[in-house]
Structure 1
Amino acid sequence: MSETATAAPGARTPSRLRAVGPYLRRYLARNPVAVSAAVIVIAAAAATGSLWNDGGALVWGAGPLATFASGRWWTVLTALVVPDSAVDAAASVLLALTVLAYGERLLGARRTALLLAVTGLAGLLLGIGLHAVAWTVTDLRPVVAAEVPVLDPTTPIAGAVMAASAFATTLWRRRLRLVGFALLALFALYAGDADSWYRLTAAAIGLAVGAVLARGRERRSWHRSSTRESRTLLALLVAVVGSGPIVALVSGGGRGPLSLVVDAYTQYDDEVLAQCGTVAASVCDEQVALLMTRGAGPALLAITPLVLLLVAAWGLRQGRRAAWVVAVFVLVASAVLPLVSLADGRLRIDPWVDGSGAEYVLWAIASVVIPLVLAAALVIARARFSVRATPKAAKAVAVVLTGAFLACATTLFAVEAIGKRAFDREVSFFDLLSVTLRRFLPPAFTHPGGSTAFPHSGPALFAYQWIGVLFWIIVVASILWLYRRVQRPDAGDDGRYRDLLRRGSDTLGFLGTWSGNRHWYSEDGECAVAYRLSGDVALAVADPLAPAGRRPEALRGFTDYCVEHGWIPAFYSVHADTLRDLVDLGWRHVPVGVETVMDLPGLTFAGKAWQKVRQPLTRAEREGYTAVWSRWHELTVSQASQVVAIDEEWVADRALPEMGFTLGSLDELRDRDVRLLLAVGPDERIEAVTSWMPSWTDGEITGWTLDFMRRRTDGPNGMMEFLIAKAALQLQEEGATLLSLSGAPLADDPEEAVEGDPAPLRALLRWLAEVLEPAYGFASLFRFKGKFRPRYRPLALAYRDPLQLPGIGAAVGRAYLPDASRREMVALARTAWEGRR
């Protein structure tokens, strides 16, 4: 029996503790500046007493008065290392050990230390200067706080990290900048304290310095976001708009230029406050304090729109259409409300009077412009949020919300009717009805005419304050529940197509299971064609599924079905056997790609001809890399996160849109029939990932087709050769006979001469291939697959009428680039031109 088996259960703890030591030593060696910055902050906090006495170290703070008027010039240095409280110290240490440590690995220790000093000092001095100038402008005084000396060690951290972002990979560069500036702007624009503005100034300086330092590195002015990344970024913006007023409320109302929007989310009811002019001051103060301006209920009801925006942001990140509807509705309502207030006279603005003009301009930007612009952005990007709830779930939510509203409204009306004496005056049936309906909306969203009645004690007051909150809690819970009830493709239809696949399919047949495809079936259900409808063109994907001898029947049946619906049929990426049947039916064709196939029986990588494959395989195994088979649902959280990061980096590194149609993305990896093969290093880091789609013969899996290929841009070379070689050997042992490296879209077999191609479509496909080559490298990928000595199987596009070629060509382009905008099509042409030079 081994020592491990006989060891006591508690013996693992000392071994884990021993493993912490080497990790800490490695961390210290890699991040000396980040660790030093954290130590300095803690030491400065202890020396000045700010750890246990919030505000007690303000003498070390910087500002227009503290630094220049008082002559304490050294405060521009101490303000960058002394925190103003224990919370500030903890936040600074945490940021230093995480974000700054990442920046140090990008910049190096020396440059990080230098940039901490330079960007921190420059940001502080420029911030102080802008602060002083802003205070001299009369119109800005309402939104510029009186000076409180600033103590903020996160200011230099913000500057150094933004400078380091210039050296990050495309994906993380964009994430650092967008998330970083969104958070910095959130506090600056809503909370408005001087610390936030100085921090934002330092970050802007760091961004400029980083651009100068990274000059000469390959850069693109714009980087394409994947659907997932676009959802995340839009969700972040919605979350900022939703949480900004909350930040201002928590910070005492806020002094930032956009904090004026907070007025719309206070718990005060203007109609009740208007009665103070006709009621004795003592009575008014008591009732308003008790009924409207105190208590958690009115406060929660007031910020309901902000809570809905945060809930919507959570759903937008997941692509939920319900979240999109909620976000657009709340944003538009929040923007329209101030305009309604102006129209009905509740809001009166006399611009540029008594120095208040700038304040009203800022109010208009915060209250109207920002919500409308963000709502417009969501409308433009609505296709990104296509994940719908099931009809059953949507009906259930509608029933629950209707029932909840009726139950809450009835309860509130009944309690108020019973407690009439608790009201400040006699109330009629219509008064009670008006009060009932008003309590389901935030005060800013109600515009009644005249004064309103309200209870001032007892159960009527409790119901008045809390029934509306209860209803909105049910609404939020229902929305969150709806997010989890995602509408899937019709299980019966998908299962039917998969059953036919398992009966027997070619190497590309699995493409028909992808999202976006429809399925045609013969009357007896034995034949099937997967197709994608693009405009009025039905692009059939791969070969039809049909029993032996019935393929011509399936081709005719699908064609008749398309003609019946007014569609133009076309078969894309079909093999030679299907093409012969179509030619016999009078169809024409044009080559659109080449599939590379490896025959597995008897395959070995011995001999000089396999040297280009054998060397990367041997080197990777020698260096401790392993090929790990898995499926998406079997991945750990860490593994799935790494795969997503690798894919996002690949997408972000291209200025052109992500392609689809016959090219799989991350979404296709989640299919339970798809296998993943990961290249995992000795440190458990995933360096590359591939996905493999099955093909069947008589119910048995006999082949696998390569689809998804991604690797880290900073990873070792030869990872793809390693994975494909390992896949071939392992699948050979499992009994597979065929390994397809998939087709090279829009590529030609260089050994095959093409005669009689129709000039218009052929020219379009050649142009599209040339345009996409510099960005996606189809030709280089085709040459890469040649290392595996495959046999080539031509793929063709078959069509019936040459007059339909322009429409078919446009449909192929839309299928491959479904999300491409006009701007991106211009980028495609520019990329093609640059690729020729």
Structure 2
Amino acid sequence: MRHPFSSTMAAVYLVVALVTAPFAGPDGLLRQRLWVVLGSDEPVSHWWSPMTGTLIARGLPELTVAVVGSLVLLGASERLMGWRRTAVAFAVTAIVGTTAGAGLIVLGELDHISWARSIARIATVDPQSGIFGAIATASAFAGALWRRRIRLVVVLVSLVFLLYSGEPADVYRLTATLAGLALGLVLTRRRRPGWARSSRHEVRRLLAAATALTAVGPMIALFSRSRVGPLGPIGMLLAAPDAQSPRQIAARCDLFQLTHACVGQLTLARIAGPGPIVVSVVPLMLLLLAAWGLVRGRRFAVWLAVGIEVLLGGLAAVYFGLLPAVAPNPAIEAYRDVQFQFDAVISIGLPLVMAAALLVARRSFAVPSDGRAVAGFAVAAAGALLALGGGYLVVLLLGGTHVFGAHPGVGRLVASASERFVPVSFLGGDGALVVPLSPGGRLLGHLIGPLFWLVVAGAALRPLFGAGPRQLVGDAAPIRRIVESGGDALSFMSQWPGNARWIAEDGAAAVAYRVVGRIALTVGGPIGRADDPRAVIEGFARHCDDNGWMPVFYSVDAGLSTAFAALGWQHRAVADEAVLNPTEIDFGGRRWQKVRSAVNRADREGIRSLWSSLGELPWHLARQLEEISEEWVSNKELPEMGFTLGGLDEARDPVVRLMVAVDSDERVHAFTSWLPVYRDGVVVGYTNDLMRRRRDGAHGAMEFVIAEVIARLRNEGIGMLSLSAAPLARVSAAESDGLDDLLDRLSRRLEPAYGFRSLLDFKLKFQPELRPLLIAYPDAAALPEIGIALVRAYLPSLSLAQASRLVRGLWQEPVSRTL
């Protein structure tokens, strides 16, 4: 049996459920003997309860979760650390987690914490504690990618259940998870969890998962049995009994004797019916949509999620009295205790922390949305708010309302209208105390909130999931068609997120660029089949001048040096592009001995090559590519580089090809990605982008992969293969001027982290033709700005101050002219 422990535990859950009643759970007597029961006088019913409590489900839904969790999570744990360690982790974390969690609740009860006292006598069972503890333990045995993912998900899920449900089982699950993390460090002999750097791709996924979990939390409160967690008011409000009609309330509540009973009835009147439920649910669904947009790298999704999180945090601050509201809460002082303070900090802090995390990582979300779609969203949201809110305010001003308390001013009426747009979980018991009595007024009051949020959600779909900004100029020729008409080895990169495009008036040529400060750095040279490259350069320079930027052509072919000289620009070589002609290579002779040895070794070890796009790869292979890439990034001392260096996200284009080295066990050892080079709509060559090898992969796997690419292109008759240029590294001697000194020092400073020079040495194994790539600029006085712009383009997560300090520190480095 491949997964003996997980299969056994799934069977145990099913057998125990059949014995103790699978649909309703065990009866009262069995609960007392097998489940955990808390209380200051009896912390645990029996010594065996922490273990037996993890084997019993309360009903069919919990049984289903336990069985699926056993097969999936415990199965994953067995794959990572074996069945023996998984069994030990399950038992240890279940016992330690339940005992420690029970102790915390008892301490809270003794300290008169209201939440602990409210759950202290609940007979509890939690089959998930041991499962969560085991997978948390197994995370220490996973690679950098899955270790981080597992820990983030299990900790966040445990926290969300605790905050929004708050049952003893949720406490046990969290303490078992923490115990599992500690046990994993012990079993792997690690002193601390360690911190590994994430790629932009992984940052997007992690933040999207966290955002989605904060959106799902209120749903947990809605369907929870107890709803005693700090963030559980939405469940309590939505589960409230049916309210009386506004006219009944008005008849019973005297205008000048506003009792707490009346306040409660008014609150129920404001939330009764399907409308307030929609108002509470749709913003959370919108947050889920934003989370999916974050996975896709959408910049608009960041601002949408930040806006919703800040809104939720602000509403919580008003609810808890930390921000002034229109009307004071008369009963809020009664809850000024430790429990109230904790609830306030969590309710306000959680969404604001998420918003702050998204803002800090906003540079990882480089996919822009269509500007018109974003403008349409803003207009739709503002228009719906003004139209619906204004219409309801008119109804209140015309009468047909009952006002409790003092005569309403405009502020109170505005507050009454605005609260119709607020999720019910943030409505205090006071409100504006203005209730419409007419059927039309009541209907409008229930409809304006749902209509507004539905309009907002609908308007957000296009900027979240629609096409990016239209890159159309002149005869409306898209940039893709221009790229396919011709260009250099970097032309395909012009389509990457984060790059802007200037397109000539005739639509035949374009220039891709990135603005950093006032420097417009190009991604290679002109794109397309321009008859006069100088005219394209001049046109782009005018475009930059109109916008107050300085044009700097970066990594352009040396053949354009004449055009730059004619314009009076200065130019220097910054890198050497390694170019091969596959049709002329037969791997014969001593020069190819190392490459032949790598191919022969791969053949002996059963490693084969696979030429495919990322989308066509089987899922289990694509997942390994993510793991290898993330492992590569996590080992770097500096963040992942960008600009002319892509990642897996850029490799998802269907026309980008991958060459993957896979052994007989379907284990990926290395892979490379290749960008097409076009001429007149036909692929005439490929340019290397990604080059990744598993840390413990077969020796020579990368040489094997590149040799397989050469052989395949030779058979297809393709005569151009670019191994690309190692940024800031070159074989030819540098020319003597300030920029060359700066770039040489920058290369030396970044070499320990990124290995540009060693990468160039590796490419020399394939006997390439080295073609110098130039940087051209109109004004030498801007060299310091150009240096900072290059640093920030390649390291976009660096701030301007950090980039400036790095460039200033370069002048303290000794210069080495050649490799």
Instruction: Tell me, in whole angstroms, the C-alpha distance in 2 between the residues paired with 1:111 and 1:668.
Output: 39
Superposition deviation, residue 42 in structure 1? 2.7
Superposition deviation, residue 271 in structure 1? 13
Alignment of 1:336-347 (within 5 A): 336-340=314-318, 342=321, 343-344=324-325, 345-347=327-329
Report if aligned partners of 1:536, 1:568 keep a CA contact under 8 Å in 2: yes
The yes-or-no answer on 1:807 pairing with 2:785 is yes
Instruction: Tell me, in whole angstroms, the C-alpha distance in 2 between the residues paired with 1:807 and 1:63.
Output: 68
Report if aligned partners of 1:657, 1:819 keep a CA contact under 8 Å in 2: yes
SS of residue in 1 equivalent to 2:434: coil
Aligned counterpart, 1:775: 753
Instruction: Tell me, in whole angstroms, the C-alpha distance in 1 between the residues paired with 2:372 and 2:780.
Output: 46
Percent identical across equivalent pairs? 37
Aligned counterpart, 2:816: none
Aligned counterpart, 1:357: 337
The yes-or-no answer on 1:256 pairing with 2:220 is no
Name which of structure 1's ranges 604-613 and 116-125 shifts more when overlaid on structure 2: 604-613
Superposition deviation, residue 436 in structure 1? 7.2
SS of residue in 2 equivalent to 1:629: strand
Query: Which residue among 620, 633, 642 is the counterpart of 1:651?
Result: 633
Aligned counterpart, 1:368: 348
Residue identity matched to 2:792: R
Cα deviation per residue 1:336-373 (whole Å; 9 max; x = unaligned)? 3355463345225776x7x8510221232133233333
Aligned counterpart, 2:61: 87
SS of residue in 2 equivalent to 1:601: helix
Aligned counterpart, 2:584: 602
Report the CA distance shift for 1:805/1:440 in structure 2 as closer, same or farther (over 3 A).
closer
Name which of structure 1's ranges 529-538 and 515-524 shifts more when overlaid on structure 2: 515-524
Residue identity matched to 1:730: R
Residue identity matched to 1:78: T
The yes-or-no answer on 1:36 pairing with 2:8 is yes
Instruction: Tell me, in whole angstroms, the C-alpha distance in 1 between the residues paired with 2:757 and 2:244.
Output: 68
SS of residue in 2 equivalent to 1:662: coil
Query: Which residue among 233, 246, 253 is the counterpart of 2:206?
Result: 233
Aligned counterpart, 2:648: 666
Instruction: Tell me, in whole angstroms, the C-alpha distance in 2 between the residues paired with 1:410 and 1:548.
Output: 56
SS of residue in 2 equivalent to 1:235: helix
SS of residue in 2 equivalent to 1:578: helix
Report the CA distance shift for 1:390/1:557 in structure 2 as closer, same or farther (over 3 A).
closer
Report if aligned partners of 1:664, 1:708 keep a CA contact under 8 Å in 2: yes
Query: Which residue among 556, 578, 581 is the counterpart of 2:560?
Result: 578
Superposition deviation, residue 164 in structure 1? 1.4
Aligned counterpart, 1:199: 173
Instruction: Tell me, in whole angstroms, the C-alpha distance in 2 between the residues paired with 1:654 and 1:321.
Output: 26
Alignment of 1:619-638 (within 5 A): 619-621=601-603, 625-631=607-613
Instruction: Tell me, in whole angstroms, the C-alpha distance in 2 between the residues paired with 1:380 and 1:47.
Output: 53
Superposition deviation, residue 669 in structure 1? 2.4
Aligned counterpart, 1:315: 293
Alignment of 1:60-79 (within 5 A): 60-64=34-38, 72-79=46-53
Aligned counterpart, 2:817: none
Query: Which residue among 757, 781, 787 is the counterpart of 2:736?
Result: 757
**TM-score relative to the length of structure 2:** 0.82
Residue identity matched to 1:37: M
Name which of structure 1's ranges 183-192 and 205-214 shifts more when overlaid on structure 2: 205-214
SS of residue in 2 equivalent to 1:592: strand
Instruction: Tell me, in whole angstroms, the C-alpha distance in 2 between the residues paired with 1:264 and 1:582.
Output: 70
Report if aligned partners of 2:519, 2:785 keep a CA contact under 8 Å in 1: yes
Residue identity matched to 1:808: I
Aligned counterpart, 2:313: 335
Report the CA distance shift for 1:130/1:633 in structure 2 as closer, same or farther (over 3 A).
closer
Instruction: Tell me, in whole angstroms, the C-alpha distance in 2 between the residues paired with 1:289 and 1:811.
Output: 57
Report if aligned partners of 2:471, 2:501 keep a CA contact under 8 Å in 1: no
Report if aligned partners of 2:401, 2:436 keep a CA contact under 8 Å in 1: no
The yes-or-no answer on 1:128 pairing with 2:128 is no
Aligned counterpart, 1:710: 692
Report the CA distance shift for 1:779/1:296 in structure 2 as closer, same or farther (over 3 A).
same
The yes-or-no answer on 1:166 pairing with 2:144 is no
Residue identity matched to 2:721: L
Name which of structure 1's ranges 131-140 and 712-721 shifts more when overlaid on structure 2: 712-721
The alignment covers a number of residue pairs equal to 795
Instruction: Tell me, in whole angstroms, the C-alpha distance in 2 between the residues paired with 1:622 and 1:507.
Output: 35
Alignment of 1:137-148 (within 5 A): 137-140=111-114, 145-148=119-122
Aligned counterpart, 1:278: 254
Query: Which residue among 711, 715, 721 is the counterpart of 1:733?
Result: 715
Aligned counterpart, 2:274: 296
Report if aligned partners of 1:248, 1:259 keep a CA contact under 8 Å in 2: yes
Report the CA distance shift for 1:471/1:815 in structure 2 as closer, same or farther (over 3 A).
closer
Superposition deviation, residue 515 in structure 1? 3.6
SS of residue in 1 equivalent to 2:119: coil
Instruction: Tell me, in whole angstroms, the C-alpha distance in 2 between the residues paired with 1:45 and 1:775.
Output: 55
Aligned counterpart, 2:766: 788
Unaligned residue ranges in structure 1 (runs of 5+)? 1-27
Superposition deviation, residue 148 in structure 1? 2.3
Aligned counterpart, 1:213: 187
Report the CA distance shift for 1:662/1:387 in structure 2 as closer, same or farther (over 3 A).
closer
Instruction: Tell me, in whole angstroms, the C-alpha distance in 2 between the residues paired with 1:699 and 1:471.
Output: 48
Superposition deviation, residue 477 in structure 1? 3.8
**TM-score relative to the length of structure 1:** 0.81
Cα deviation per residue 1:628-647 (whole Å; 9 max; x = unaligned)? 43445656666655555554
Superposition deviation, residue 199 in structure 1? 1.5
Residue identity matched to 2:35: G
Superposition deviation, residue 485 in structure 1? 1.7
SS of residue in 2 equivalent to 1:745: coil
Cα deviation per residue 1:186-233 (whole Å; 9 max; x = unaligned)? 11122111111112111112212212332359x884333333332333
Name which of structure 1's ranges 731-740 and 70-79 shifts more when overlaid on structure 2: 70-79
Aligned counterpart, 1:96: 70
Report if aligned partners of 2:730, 2:760 keep a CA contact under 8 Å in 1: no
Instruction: Tell me, in whole angstroms, the C-alpha distance in 1 between the residues paired with 2:741 and 2:467.
Output: 42
SS of residue in 2 equivalent to 1:108: helix
Name which of structure 1's ranges 89-98 and 763-772 shifts more when overlaid on structure 2: 763-772
Superposition deviation, residue 161 in structure 1? 1.6
Name which of structure 1's ranges 535-544 and 520-529 shifts more when overlaid on structure 2: 520-529
Cα deviation per residue 1:126-152 (whole Å; 9 max; x = unaligned)? 222222211100245566512223322
Residue identity matched to 2:173: R
Residue identity matched to 2:640: E
